[in-house]
Structure 1
Amino acid sequence: MLEKLFEGMIWRSRFIVLLAVIFGLLGAVILCIIASMDIWNVAVVSFQVVTHAIPHPEHFHEDVVAGIIGAVDLYLIAVVMFIFAFGLYELFISDIDEAKEHEDGEHQLLAIHNLDQLKDKIAKVIVMVLVVNFFQRVLHTKFSTPLEMLYFALAIAALAVGLYFLGKVGKK
């Protein structure tokens, strides 16, 4: 009887994961709102520049692109949070029935059956976040020597090779 009680307590303790699910979803929503506000601010400033309401800033185009790429970066991090929350829920609590009704066999974006699948999906999105962050930082980098340009080209080539192999992961 003590064993049955203890096992029941252990099994029900998995519901503590609901905290991670709830706050993961909350974090994802917050990141989406912040990214959307960033894009809105870029749009407002761009409109003011185009209508000559404010003078054309010196690095206007770079700032616009950097602002939008920064928002994309936040959206990608939000996707990581969504995948994390959905994956934890499916692994520890229950399958999401509504997701199964709307997905066919080939396109099960959020179907997670084990911890390795969750880690793989999160890792792929994190790599994309790092790639986007890299390009955001490059926008404000000044290259003064040909060697710096060569390093930049090598970094892009390394990213391309890494993304190629990342695309091969999990495919037969």
Structure 2
Amino acid sequence: MKNHEQALEKDRAHTSMLERYFEGALWNSRWVVMVAVIASLITAFGIFYMTAVDVYYTMAHLVHYAQLDDEARSHLKAQTVAHVVGSVDGFLLGTIMLIFALGLYELFISKIDQAHESGASKILYINSLDDLKDKLAKVIVMILIVMFFEQAIFLKPTAPLELLYYSLAIMMIGLALYLSHKAYEH
């Protein structure tokens, strides 16, 4: 009987050691998320850089704005507004990548102590995967609204039905903003 109990105890110790090694390896596998965190940061910095360069060249084209005739000035103004709206879109996309990187890091690796100590914006606090998805969804909705605005600048409704569709699209955007705001309150 004693030999049997000793054999069972030895088997449990071996299983426990194997289980500890496996759980340790499983827990440490979360570090693979660092690939996504670093790639997302690089992408965010790249998008911020490209958008900043676009803003610089957009502003550089405005140097001779006052010297243009009315038609050329009107065309340049429309183009500039479209580029500025596109820049907002670019910066929002960079922001998505930054929030995504920070969120993945906080969810899988560790809380960012400096963010919590400095009293940073609550948009950077990520407590769950659903929290990360909600924050990303809000920024994506804003990007879609900006993209709509960018395209709407050049729309010239010619028929009453086109004007109705245009109005309905604006109303749907307002509804989307309202619903996303209400969802955030809860």
Instruction: Name the TM-score, length of structure 1 as normaliser.
Output: 0.92
Deviations 1:112-151 (A, max 9, x none): 1100000000000000000000110111223221211111
Q: Cα RMSD over matched residues? A: 1.6
Larger gyration radius, structure 1 or structure 2: 2
Match of 1:10 in 2: 26
> Could you tell me how far 1:67 is from its partner in structure 2?
0.2
Q: Indicate the residue corresponding to 1:45 in structure 2.
A: 61
1:114 matched to 2:128: yes
Note the C-alpha offset of 1:56. Answer: 2.9
Return the letter of the residue paired with 1:128. M
Where do 5+ consecutive residues of structure 2 fail to align?
1-16
Whole-angstrom distance in 2 between the partners of 1:51 and 1:17: 54
Q: Which has the higher helix share?
A: 2
Q: Distance in 1 between matches of 2:122 and 2:139?
A: 16
SS at match of 2:184: coil
Number of residues of Structure 1 aligned to a counterpart in Structure 2: 168
Amino acid at match of 1:85: A
- Return the offset for 1:58: 5.8
Equivalent residue letter for 1:117: D
Aligned equivalents of 1:99 and 1:165: distance in 2? 29
Mapped to 1, the partners of 2:44 and 2:66 lie a distance apart of 33
Deviations 1:62-103 (A, max 9, x none): 100000000100100111101100000000000001101111
Identity %: 41
Q: Distance in 2 between the 1:108 and 1:43 partners?
A: 33
Residues 21-170 of structure 1 aligned to structure 2 (within 5 Å): 21-51=37-67, 56=72, 59-103=75-119, 107-170=121-184
Q: Residue type of the partner of 2:173? A: L
In structure 1, stretches of 5+ residues that fail to align are none
Whether contact under 8 Å (2:123, 2:135) holds in the other structure is: no
**In structure 2, C-alpha distance between the alignment counterparts of 1:88 and 1:9, rounded to whole Å:** 19
Cα distance in 2 for partners of 1:149, 1:64 equals 24
Q: Distance between the aligned counterparts of 2:31 and 2:62, measured in 1?
A: 47
Moved over 6 A (4+): none
